[in-house]
C-alpha cells in the first residue's frame, strides 16, 4: 500500500513538475505576449499620434491651400478686369486710329490741292515775271512815259513781292502739312 501511495505521490510530483513547467512556459508566453501587447499598444499610440499629427498637418495644408486659392481667385478676377479694360481700350484706340486715318487722308488731299495751287502760283509768278520784263522793255522804249512806267513797275514789283510772300506762305503751309502728315 505504501508503494502505491509512493507511486501516486511520484505521479503527482511528476504531474506537479509538468504543471509547474507548463505554468513557467505559460508565464513566459504570457510575459512575451504581454510585452508584445505593450509594444503593440505603444506602436498603436505612436501610430495614432502620427496620424493625428498628419491630420493636423493636412488641415493646415488645406487651410493654406484654401487661402492661396482665395488669393488666386482674387488675382484671377483682377486679371479678368484688366483684360476687359484692355479690350475696351483697344476698341477705343481702333476707333481713334480710324478717325486719324480719315484725317490723314483729308490732309493728304489738302496737301495735293496745295501743291496744285503752288504750281498755278508758280505759273502766275512766271507770267508776272514775263509781264514785268515786257513792261521794263516798254518803259525803256518810252522816255515820255517814264514817271507813269516807274509807277506801274513799282505796282508790279509790289504785286510780285506779294506773290513771292504768298508762295513762301504756301511753302510754309506745305511744310506744316508734311509735318502733320508725318505725325
Q: What is the pLDDT of residues 172-181, one digit of tens each?
A: 999 999 988 8
pLDDT of residue 166: 93
143-170 average pLDDT score: 84
Q: Which long-range contacts (CB under 8 A, 24 or more apart) does 87-92 make?
A: none
What percent of the chain stands above pLDDT 90? Answer: 71
Rounded to whole angstroms, the Cα distance separating 78 from 71 reads 11
Looking at the 3D structure of the chain, how many domains does it have? 1
State how far the Cα of 102 lies from the Cα of 118, in Å rounded to an integer: 24
> What is the residue range of 115's domain?
1-181
Q: Tell me the pLDDT band of 144, cut-offs 50, 70 and 90.
A: low
Query: Which cell is 155 given?
Result: 505796282
User: What pLDDT does residue 163 have?
Assistant: 93
Higher pLDDT, 125 or 46: 46
Q: How far is CA 125 from the centre of its chain?
A: 59
Read off φ and ψ for residue 6, nearest 5 degrees. Answer: -60, -40
Amino acid at each position: 500500500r505504501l508503494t502505491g501511495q509512493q507511486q501516486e505521490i511520484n505521479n503527482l510530483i511528476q504531474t506537479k513538475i509538468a504543471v509547474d513547467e507548463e505554468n513557467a512556459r505559460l508565464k513566459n508566453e504570457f510575459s512575451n505576449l504581454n510585452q508584445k501587447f505593450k509594444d503593440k499598444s505603444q506602436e498603436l499610440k505612436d501610430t495614432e499620434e502620427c496620424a493625428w499629427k498628419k491630420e493636423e498637418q493636412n488641415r493646415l495644408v488645406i487651410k493654406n491651400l484654401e487661402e492661396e486659392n482665395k488669393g488666386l481667385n482674387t488675382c484671377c478676377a483682377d486679371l479678368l478686369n484688366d483684360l476687359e479694360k484692355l479690350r475696351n481700350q483697344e476698341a477705343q484706340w481702333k476707333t481713334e486710329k480710324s478717325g486719324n486715318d480719315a484725317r490723314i487722308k483729308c490732309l493728304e488731299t489738302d496737301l495735293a490741292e496745295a501743291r496744285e495751287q503752288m504750281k498755278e502760283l508758280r505759273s502766275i509768278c512766271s507770267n508776272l515775271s514775263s509781264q514785268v520784263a515786257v513792261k521794263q522793255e516798254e518803259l525803256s522804249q518810252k522816255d515820255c512815259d517814264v514817271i507813269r512806267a516807274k509807277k506801274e513797275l513799282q505796282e508790279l514789283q509790289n504785286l510780285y513781292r506779294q506773290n513771292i510772300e504768298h508762295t513762301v506762305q504756301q511753302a510754309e503751309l506745305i511744310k506744316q502739312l508734311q509735318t502733320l502728315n508725318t505725325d
